[in-house]
């Protein structure tokens, strides 16, 4: 695009149009170390995970960011620079980032707006500029910025997040800024203004189907879905609600908490995260995935719903007991419809065109079954297993 292309005529004058979005134009996709590795994260594991991401086709399906979560730090030296834990990162962060980039992947790194991270490592509060420059010099492409050991009030959070947002922008490097204050201060209202591209809506997701409330003891998949459902108006290209990582394939392993979910429940998380236009950050062991896990994470038709460039977050359009109907408008005029069964037993779920705001015939495709279901006039239905979801793409007949 030339400079001139970005000028639009408005009322006879030529004014600058909104600049193109440099990062997170669609929801970021990748892998994060926290659920699996916790404080045992190290460079060998990260490189092995990057290799597995490539070898199993996840990179080519869109999973680009390898995010190094908390406890990579060794400390802060006398000149004020953060450094990694030497035994676990003997070659340093730049060398590790080079390895990850050499695999055509991108690098994410965790830091915290307070004085210490949630795991107790040095925080970046008051060191924003020096840390942002350091991250950029290492080649970091994504910063997850947590909020432990930081003042509880919203103005302080806005100030601290803006300080890092500005410091990252000042490096000139395109860096996704991922805000993680768990939705406590309604970040959907201010995080984009602080430079954020994604913001957590809720407390940490653990490897379980459902929990009673949004609580820092850990949330289930349905809990974070419900916390994020009302926030569709705040999402769009460059700004996404984040209901936390995918637990798909974790199987109770690692240290996220939770005993694990069934393959069907994991598929439902993938379905709903795609309808929510949520970041798709896997957290299972990419070196040892079952066929079901791989199929769930790499279903390109489902991922296309998440990555659709219109950037609309889907909404719940109808609910009756355990049966829910969700809809996400797509760039080409299609609608992705989710039929979610929260109950334990199979149920038939029917979506009427009236509840979807549609009229006229639609071509229907089942995106999990990769099957065309033909032309339909006014409603579709599916028999959906317990804790299951179907995703149908309804395309106008040309
Ligand atoms: C917080 C975040 C988690 C993880 C840990 C690391 O709990 O919400 O996602 O980053 O900190 O300590």
Judged against a pLDDT cut of 70, whether residue 12 lies above it is answered with no
What SS3 class is residue 65?
strand
Residue 7's φ and ψ, nearest 5 degrees, are -95, 130
- The CB-side HSE value for 240 (13 A sphere, CA atoms) comes to 33
Predicted pLDDT of residue 5? 36
Nearest CA to ligand 1 atom 6: 70
Q: Which tokens in the block code for residue 27?
A: 């929801």
Distance from the CA of 181 to the center of ligand 1, in angstroms?
Answer: 9
Among protein residues, the one with the nearest Cα to ligand 1's atom 3 is 204
229 pLDDT more than 90? yes
- Over residues 338-392, the pLDDT tens digits come to 999 999 999 999 999 999 999 999 999 999 999 999 999 999 999 999 999 999 9
Nearest atom within ligand 1 for CA of residue 118: 12
Instruction: Give per-residue pLDDT as tens, 112-124.
Output: 999 999 999 999 9
pLDDT given for residue 7 in this prediction: 42
Structural tokens at position 106:
């991108």
204 carries an active-site annotation:
yes
Instruction: List beta partners, residue 277.
Output: none
Q: Of 13 and 2, which is predicted with more confidence?
A: 13
**pLDDT the model gives residue 20:** 77
- Which tens digit of pLDDT belongs to each residue from 139-153? 999 999 999 999 999
> Residue range 196-222: average pLDDT?
98
Mean residue pLDDT of the chain comes to 95
Q: In what order do the strands lie in the sheet with 315-320?
A: 315-320, 323-329, 335-341, 389-396, 362-366, 371-376
Buried-state track 360-397, b at ≥16 Cβ within 10 A, e below 16: eebbbbbbbeeeeeeebeeebebebbebbbbbbbbeee
**pTM, entire model:** 0.95
Mutation test residue for ligand 1: of 72, 118, 224, the one with most atoms within 8 Å of CB: 118
Q: How confident is the model at residue 13 (pLDDT cuts 50, 70, 90)?
A: low
Residues 6+ apart with CB under 8 A from 276: 225, 228, 229, 235, 241, 243, 313, 314
- Report the separation in Å between the CA atom of 30 and the middle of ligand 1, taken as the mean of its atom positions: 16
Q: Quick check: 1 pLDDT over 60?
A: no
Q: What gap in Å lies between CA 398 and CA 339, rounded to an integer? A: 25
- Testing ligand 1's pocket by substitution, the residue of 32, 33, 180, 244 carrying the most ligand atoms inside 8 A of its CB is 180
From its phi and psi, is residue 147 left (phi > 0), alpha (psi between -120 and 50) or beta? alpha
Answer whether 112 contacts ligand 1 (Cβ < 6 A). Answer: no
Q: What is the pLDDT of residue 398?
A: 79
Active-site residue, selected from the candidate residues 42, 141, 204, 285 = 204
Q: What are the two backbone dihedrals, phi and then psi, of residue 197, each rounded to the nearest 5 degrees?
A: -105, -25
Q: What span, in angstroms and rounded, lies between the C-alpha atoms of 385 and 84?
A: 46
**pLDDT over threshold 70, residue 3:** no
Question: For position 8, what pLDDT does the model report?
Answer: 43
Q: Is 320's pLDDT higher than 80?
A: yes
Asked if 146 is an active-site residue, the reply is yes
250 alpha carbon – ligand 1 mean position (Å): 17
How many other C-beta atoms are found inside a 10 Å radius of the C-beta of residue 99? 18
Ligand 1 contact via 281 beta carbon (within 6 Å): no
């Amino acid at each position: 695009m030339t400079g001139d292309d970005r000028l639009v005529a408005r009322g006879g004058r030529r004014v600058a149009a909104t600049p193109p979005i440099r990062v997170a134009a669609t929801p970021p996709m990748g892998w994060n170390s926290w659920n699996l590795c916790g404080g045992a994260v190290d460079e060998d594991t990260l490189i092995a995970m990057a290799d597995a991401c490539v070898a199993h086709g996840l990179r080519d399906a869109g999973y680009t960011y390898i995010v190094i979560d908390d406890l990579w730090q060794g400390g802060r030296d006398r000149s004020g620079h953060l450094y990694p834990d030497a035994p676990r990162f003997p070659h340093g962060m730049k060398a590790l980032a080079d390895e990850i980039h050499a695999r055509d992947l991108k690098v994410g790194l965790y830091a915290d707006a307070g004085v210490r991270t949630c795991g107790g490592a040095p925080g970046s509060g008051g060191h924003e500029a020096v840390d942002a420059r350091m991250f950029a010099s290492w080649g970091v492409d994504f910063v997850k910025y947590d909020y432990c050991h930081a003042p509880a009030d919203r103005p302080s959070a806005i100030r601290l997040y803006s300080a890092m947002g500005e410091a990252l922008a000042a490096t000139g490097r395109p860096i996704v800024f991922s805000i993680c204050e768990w939705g406590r201060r309604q970040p959907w209202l201010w995080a984009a203004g602080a430079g954020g591209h994604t913001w957590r809506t809720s407390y940490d997701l653990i490897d379980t189907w459902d929990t009673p409330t949004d609580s820092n003891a850990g949330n289930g998949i349905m809990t974070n879905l419900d916390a994020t459902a009302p926030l569709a108006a705040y999402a769009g290209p460059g700004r996404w609600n984040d209901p936390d990582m995918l637990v798909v394939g974790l199987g109770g392993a690692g240290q996220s908490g939770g005993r694990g979910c069934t393959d069907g429940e994991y598929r439902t998380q993938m379905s709903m995260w795609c309808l929510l236009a949520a970041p798709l950050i896997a957290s299972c062991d990419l070196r040892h995935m079952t066929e079901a896990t791989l199929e769930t994470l790499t279903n390109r038709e489902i991922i296309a719903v998440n990555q659709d460039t219109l950037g609309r977050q889907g909404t719940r359009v109808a609910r009756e007991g355990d049966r829910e109907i969700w809809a996400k408008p797509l760039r080409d005029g299609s609608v992705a419809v989710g039929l979610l069964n929260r109950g334990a037993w199979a149920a038939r779920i029917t979506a009427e065109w009236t509840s979807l705001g549609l009229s006229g015939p639609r071509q229907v495709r089942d995106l999990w079954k990769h099957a065309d279901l033909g032309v339909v006039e006014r409603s579709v239905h599916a028999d959906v297993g317990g804790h299951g979801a179907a995703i149908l793409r309804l395309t106008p007949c040309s």
